Structure 1
């Protein structure tokens, strides 16, 4: 829950800024007007099963099946820390939208969710995309700690690459996710400017699973039944 306390404290004012950015986009006004609750859609088995092979949605379905994660689970983890996420307010809705698409971003970027380095790299990507000092602090702390734990800069370089790639990419929060999910995955990545994370893939190869997931390993050793701390929502 420390992660969420940090996010709530340091990301104040982030949702209004990004909501204004959303409605200034070509389709943002319609998206905001429709105000779809994505967690509800992503938790519908029939909806998740509807995507054709090779699409973003099919990759998301595979993500859920292989990790055991769920949209509802992400919501419940985020609620461990009191917040205003459930308010009937446009800014709260936008915050939920960022939270609920976190795992879609894992799919789009290729960063693993059940791995400390993949989560840290996506945090850096998220900071570049939507701002918020909470993202910056968590990503930086993970990168700095990794150098001490792994004795290498590979993990940290992967996190820095995540930030750079987030800066280069199109603003993903402005997407109509209900349409994006039906788009072929590689075509979506190309359209959004989400490039292959070469430093991340190199770090995975050279560090190996244990060091790439050192936070997960430590957590499993101390509290196997607890919720993994690297599961981060907006």
Structure 2
């Protein structure tokens, strides 16, 4: 695989102090999504060039990179989202948006950090946005729920296996370790590890043409991409659900009182 030069104007150094501060804040408040992007910026040094090189080395990747579609813009278009036939990846994504209240442009807004080079007009920053903008599609494909800490942690581990980046690894590890204290068993951590293993086993999802993938029947897409059923995650959901719900409720009530 080709080795590409770094993004001009970047130091190439990881900022561990910022990363540990951000992960501490994220573990205290799982809804503070901004901290995820602080961690990514601090630790995922060189990640976009590596993934861009991998993309353009694939059969379709050169065309995808040349066209440089901004997926957030397409996923934020109501007509585009409404166009998918029942049973497709796109229809499942539409249901995801309706059930969670999330949106592609909302994720874009949360990801904006002061001084972030993500908005520079460069192929690497486009690749970084592409990884960000496919995050919720990966929730749909993998079955990891987006509005719960365990689902996010499992997908973070899946993402680390897929695209690398120490930021993903730090978040997944921190969440798994915290779960040992909260849940008093290893089921949460096992679900996170399963996410990593499934990410390693699956096809490289960043090489997909998402405008085509969204129209593919979801079961067929999962089979073609080698995305496995999250058995341990489902078990952990069943067995840890009440305990995790009580923990999250108590934490939110505590935060409200503190405010």
Compute the displacement of 1:2 (Å). 2.8
Partner of 2:136: 103
What root-mean-square deviation, in Å, do the aligned CA atoms of Structure 1 and Structure 2 show?
Answer: 1.9
Compute the displacement of 1:222 (Å). 1.7
After superposition, where does 1:172-187 map in structure 2 within 5 Å? 172-187=205-220
Which stretch shifts more, 212-221 or 133-142? Answer: 212-221
- Structure with greater contact order relative to length (CA < 8 Å, sep ≥ 6): 1
TM-score by length of 2: 0.83
User: Is 2:163 aligned against 1:125?
Assistant: no
Q: Aligned with 1:167: secondary structure?
A: helix
User: Which protein is bigger by CA-based radius of gyration?
Assistant: 2
1:166 maps to which of 175, 191, 199: 199
Partner of 1:25: 58
Q: Aligned with 2:118: secondary structure?
A: coil
Compute the displacement of 1:113 (Å). 0.2
CA contact (8 A) 1:56 1:108 kept: yes
Q: Give the distance between the partners of 1:220 and 1:3, measured in 2 at CA.
A: 23
User: Is 2:240 aligned against 1:207?
Assistant: yes
Partner of 2:172: 139
Partner of 1:92: 125
> CA 1:221–1:59 in 2, change beyond 3 Å: closer, same or farther?
farther
Partner of 1:190: 223
Q: Give the distance between the partners of 1:133 and 1:213, measured in 2 at CA.
A: 31
Where structure 2 has 5 or more consecutive residues not aligned to the other structure, the ranges are 1-33
Partner of 1:154: 187
Q: Give the distance between the partners of 1:44 and 1:160, measured in 2 at CA.
A: 35
CA contact (8 A) 1:115 1:213 kept: no
Q: Give the distance between the partners of 2:250 and 2:144, measured in 1 at CA.
A: 18
CA contact (8 A) 2:183 2:243 kept: no
CA contact (8 A) 1:116 1:213 kept: no
Partner of 1:227: none
CA contact (8 A) 1:121 1:158 kept: yes
Q: Give the distance between the partners of 1:124 and 1:186, measured in 2 at CA.
A: 22
1:41 maps to which of 74, 78, 86: 74
Q: How many residues align?
A: 225
> CA 1:80–1:192 in 2, change beyond 3 Å: closer, same or farther?
same
CA contact (8 A) 1:210 1:217 kept: no
Compute the displacement of 1:177 (Å). 0.2
Q: Give the distance between the partners of 2:218 and 2:108, measured in 1 at CA.
A: 25
> CA 1:12–1:109 in 2, change beyond 3 Å: closer, same or farther?
same
Partner of 1:114: 147
